[in-house]
Chain A
Amino acid sequence: MLNMTRINKVYRTDLVETRALRDFSLRVDEGEFVAVTGPSGSGKTTFLNVTGLLETFEQGEYELDGKNVSRLSDNERSRIRNEKIGFIFQSFNLIPDLDIFDNVDVPLRYRGLRAAERNRRIQEALEVVGLASRMKHLPSQLSGGQQQRVAIARALAGQPRLLLADEPTGNVDSLMAREILQLISGINESGTTIVMVTHDPEMARYAHRNVHIMDGQVTEVEAVDVHPTARQQATDAGRIHPL
């Protein structure tokens, strides 16, 4: 699904130069669920920004879904983000002025879909996360966990090939965290590749593979036994439909 070879990313200010990624290489297969861990300042966030085409990099090659995306224009990167990538952020990043329906609508608008098609997708995505009844609520009227589920619905509605999650459970309580992880696992089951950055080893265990980053380089790759309870619960929940 994604293949990064010897990527370098340097942040420069007047005084300091920080090499956030150094000769960074990683390959993620289609359908995989990869958790990326590492201490603060290790380059996790940079890795996610580069993967999500939010930032560019100086050297190296990045292939996404069979296409080299290393040196695309800003416009092309916007289009790929819109069509192939879904984002889930630690702080949800819902737009506070828009209600739930309109929030899920945002990526679909930029894809230029017709109104009927957008309506159908929004409806379905919200049903998947169990919030179809809250469509007209504003984000501020929902709990943290519900907001994160809206963010997941927003990512799902775009039918992404790759879902990027940045500490998706960082701002919710542990019970809700588990529920969200189960949702994400379910999405993975239905075929979407998932890359999740987290510092929580407990959450990382939901993934097929753990990648540890330190000083901008992959230091350790570890296959994970699938968390038995997690798998069990996700199946039991039975709410995960391929879209």
Chain B
Amino acid sequence: MFFYNLRLAWLSLRRNPVLSVLIIGAIGLGIGTAMTMFTVYHLMSADPIPQKSSRLYRVQLDNWNPDKPYESPDHVPEQTTYRDSVALMKEGPAPLSNAMFRSFTIAQPLDTDKPPYPVTVRVTYRNFFPMFDTPFEYGGPWGKADDAEAHQVVVLSHDTNERLFGGKNSIGRSVKLYHRYFKVVGVLKPWRPTPRYYDLTATAFAKPDDVYVPLSLTAPLQIHQGGSTSCWKDSGSDFEAFLNSECVWLQFWVQLDTPAQVAAYKSFLDDYVREQKKLGRFQRPLNNRLRNVMQWLSYEKVVASDNSILLGLAFMFLAVCLVNMTGLLLAKFLGRAAQSGVRRALGASRVMIFYQHLVEVGVIGVCGGLVGLALSWLGLRLVSGLYRNYEGLTQLDPTLAGIAIGIALGSALIAGIYPAWRICRTSVAMHLKTQ
């Protein structure tokens, strides 16, 4: 019976091509719009590192002005000072911890015919790589000795290695950053955590940085940060003073695998701050914070309110399309009520007529879903062109495609149940007398 009904559905769609196109177009448009916004929203609020997002914690310390909170007593600085970061790296009882910041410099390709070009630099401990599960194409992180002794070593992103070495294995070769040479120890595979949770400054969806160098080089090479710096006190008269200032500009993360480790780290932080208070720092009440990745993303409001508004409006739009579809289906079904009357007279039960029309609605739903999928692909191209750094947020994957077809089918059935029910309830005798 299913295939018989499928054939009837096909015949029915062919019978009124214009009406069929309108109905399928209506649901397709609704699905396309809703899926475009849903994809962006879904990827924006996605867990960028599901395997350990609940075990990675952002550390916040309140070293701010004793007379004035950073933003509010609940909003303590997102970043940490250089001196605290280095101290916490030395002493913290965490399986892994990492302090880092973003900088900006000029890379000089060694082939002199290529012009120097700007690159972003992540200045970090080696722990960055195991902590954030970065995939390596060649080599690996630099060693503990490189961190300790401030060696000029570098890890390249996939794109940078493409640009500087044509994608070849460049381990052991040299890269000229600014006017200094760095030895390549690792090359990453293409890697784009979305959102870029470990450093949300400037924009949450940008690509990861181009090159990675040891943080211990900061003082000797006077590496200035290129992200954001906030100060409530003088930043000092020279670079060394700046490193010792109360300015916050580093991101500090720890990995804590068990609740016991979390508790231990918390009390370690409190002890650290109490020690510092004795030195005259941290004059505000004890207010240290540990937030795991998803808590951090929601605290930082990574999903812009515009995206929430668009998602809501898109689903309201889908609702309009469905109401519209219900109206058109009702017109279509009632328009050939006589046929159903004949079928009923010839022995089809109500359930069979209902089933027949539901199959037709299902076919419309699947077609509408496919149209919607194509439209959402187009919609995502449009959205990607309108925003910056949205490439990572406008990718349809098989799961999303499945969701699209599912929503289309589900909403078509919702829109079609009433018309199908109406048609199967109509009086049998009414339509037989005249045509």
Interface residues of A (CB under 8 A from B): 45, 49, 52, 54-55, 74-75, 78-79, 81-83, 87, 89-98, 106-107, 109-112, 154, 158, 166
* Known pairs A93-B338, A93-B432, A109-B4; A75 contacts B351 (CB<8 A): yes
Give Cα A73 to B173, complex, Å: 86
- Residue of chain A at shortest CB distance from B14: A97
By a CB distance below 8 angstroms, the chain A residues around B342 are 93-95, 106
Supply 27 A–B pairs (Cβ within 8 Å), ascending by A: A52-B345, A54-B345, A54-B428, A55-B429, A74-B349, A74-B350, A75-B349, A75-B351, A79-B347, A79-B349, A81-B344, A81-B347, A82-B346, A83-B347, A87-B432, A89-B433, A91-B433, A91-B434, A95-B339, A95-B342, A95-B343, A97-B14, A97-B15, A109-B4, A110-B349, A110-B352, A166-B432
Nearest-Cβ distance from residue A169 to partner chain B, whole angstroms: 15
Nearest-Cβ distance from residue A216 to partner chain B, whole angstroms: 16
- Residue of chain B at shortest CB distance from A52: B345
**Other 7 A-B pairs with CB < 8 A, given A55-B427, A78-B349, A90-B433:** A45-B429, A78-B348, A82-B347, A95-B339, A106-B343, A112-B1, A154-B346
Nearest-Cβ distance from residue B39 to partner chain A, whole angstroms: 39
Give Cα A74 to B345, complex, Å: 11
In the complex, whether B12 has a CB less than 8 A from a CB of chain A is yes
Residue among A92, A93, A96, A154 having the largest count of chain B Cβ atoms under 10 Å: A93
In the complex, whether B112 has a CB less than 8 A from a CB of chain A is no
B405-434: contact bitstring with A at CB < 8 Å (1 yes, 0 no)? 000000000000000000000011100111
- The answer to whether A49 touches B429, judged by C-beta atoms less than 8 angstroms apart, is yes
* Known pairs A95-B339, A95-B342; A110 contacts B428 (CB<8 A): no
In the complex, whether B382 has a CB less than 8 A from a CB of chain A is no
By a CB distance below 8 angstroms, the chain B residues around A87 are 345-346, 432
- The answer to whether A110 touches B346, judged by C-beta atoms less than 8 angstroms apart, is yes
- Residue of chain A at shortest CB distance from B425: A74
Nearest-Cβ distance from residue A129 to partner chain B, whole angstroms: 17
- The answer to whether B432 touches A110, judged by C-beta atoms less than 8 angstroms apart, is no
By a CB distance below 8 angstroms, the chain A residues around B351 are 75
- Residue of chain B at shortest CB distance from A50: B429
- Residue of chain A at shortest CB distance from B11: A97
- The answer to whether B11 touches A98, judged by C-beta atoms less than 8 angstroms apart, is yes
Nearest 3 CB-CB pairings of A with B: A82-B347, A78-B349, A107-B346
- The answer to whether B348 touches A110, judged by C-beta atoms less than 8 angstroms apart, is yes
* Known pairs A97-B15, A98-B11; A107 contacts B347 (CB<8 A): yes
Give Cα A82 to B428, complex, Å: 14
Tally of A-B Cβ pairs under 8 angstroms: 81
By a CB distance below 8 angstroms, the chain A residues around B4 are 109
In the complex, whether B305 has a CB less than 8 A from a CB of chain A is no
Give Cα A78 to B343, complex, Å: 10
Within 8 A of A (CB), among B112-129: none
In the complex, whether B258 has a CB less than 8 A from a CB of chain A is no
Q: Name the one of A45, A92, A109 contacting B1, with C-beta atoms under 8 angstroms.
A: A109
- Residue of chain B at shortest CB distance from A94: B342
- Residue of chain B at shortest CB distance from A107: B346
By a CB distance below 8 angstroms, the chain B residues around A96 are 339
- The answer to whether A78 touches B344, judged by C-beta atoms less than 8 angstroms apart, is yes
B345-363: contact bitstring with A at CB < 8 Å (1 yes, 0 no)? 1111111100000000000
Give Cα A52 to B429, complex, Å: 10
B87-101: contact bitstring with A at CB < 8 Å (1 yes, 0 no)? 000000000000000
In the complex, whether B72 has a CB less than 8 A from a CB of chain A is no
By a CB distance below 8 angstroms, the chain B residues around A55 are 427-429
Give Cα A196 to B11, complex, Å: 33
* Known pairs A79-B349, A109-B1; A97 contacts B12 (CB<8 A): yes
Give Cα A198 to B54, complex, Å: 82
* Known pairs A91-B435, A93-B435, A95-B339; A111 contacts B429 (CB<8 A): no
Q: Name the one of B346, B350, B428 contacting A106, with C-beta atoms under 8 angstroms.
A: B346
By a CB distance below 8 angstroms, the chain B residues around A52 are 345
Nearest-Cβ distance from residue A143 to partner chain B, whole angstroms: 16
Within 8 A of A (CB), among B55-107: none
Give Cα A79 to B341, complex, Å: 15
Nearest-Cβ distance from residue A27 to partner chain B, whole angstroms: 23
Nearest-Cβ distance from residue A81 to partner chain B, whole angstroms: 5
- The answer to whether B352 touches A81, judged by C-beta atoms less than 8 angstroms apart, is no
Within 8 A of A (CB), among B288-345: 338-339, 341-345
- The answer to whether B435 touches A81, judged by C-beta atoms less than 8 angstroms apart, is no
Nearest-Cβ distance from residue A191 to partner chain B, whole angstroms: 21
By a CB distance below 8 angstroms, the chain A residues around B341 are 93
- Residue of chain B at shortest CB distance from A151: B342
Residue among B12, B341, B346 having the largest count of chain A Cβ atoms under 10 Å: B346
Q: Name the one of A75, A82, A92 contacting B350, with C-beta atoms under 8 angstroms.
A: A75
By a CB distance below 8 angstroms, the chain B residues around A110 are 343, 346-349, 352
- The answer to whether A89 touches B350, judged by C-beta atoms less than 8 angstroms apart, is no
Q: Name the one of A54, A94, A112, A154 contacting B432, with C-beta atoms under 8 angstroms.
A: A54
Give Cα A222 to B129, complex, Å: 103
- The answer to whether B429 touches A81, judged by C-beta atoms less than 8 angstroms apart, is no
Within 8 A of A (CB), among B347-405: 347-352
By a CB distance below 8 angstroms, the chain A residues around B434 are 91
By a CB distance below 8 angstroms, the chain B residues around A45 are 429, 433
Nearest-Cβ distance from residue A68 to partner chain B, whole angstroms: 19
By a CB distance below 8 angstroms, the chain A residues around B347 are 78-79, 81-83, 107, 110-111, 158
Give Cα A83 to B329, complex, Å: 32
By a CB distance below 8 angstroms, the chain A residues around B352 are 78, 110
Give Cα A49 to B342, complex, Å: 13
By a CB distance below 8 angstroms, the chain B residues around A154 are 346
Residue among A45, A55, A106 having the largest count of chain B Cβ atoms under 10 Å: A106
By a CB distance below 8 angstroms, the chain A residues around B428 are 54-55
- The answer to whether A81 touches B346, judged by C-beta atoms less than 8 angstroms apart, is yes
By a CB distance below 8 angstroms, the chain A residues around B345 are 52, 54, 81, 87, 93
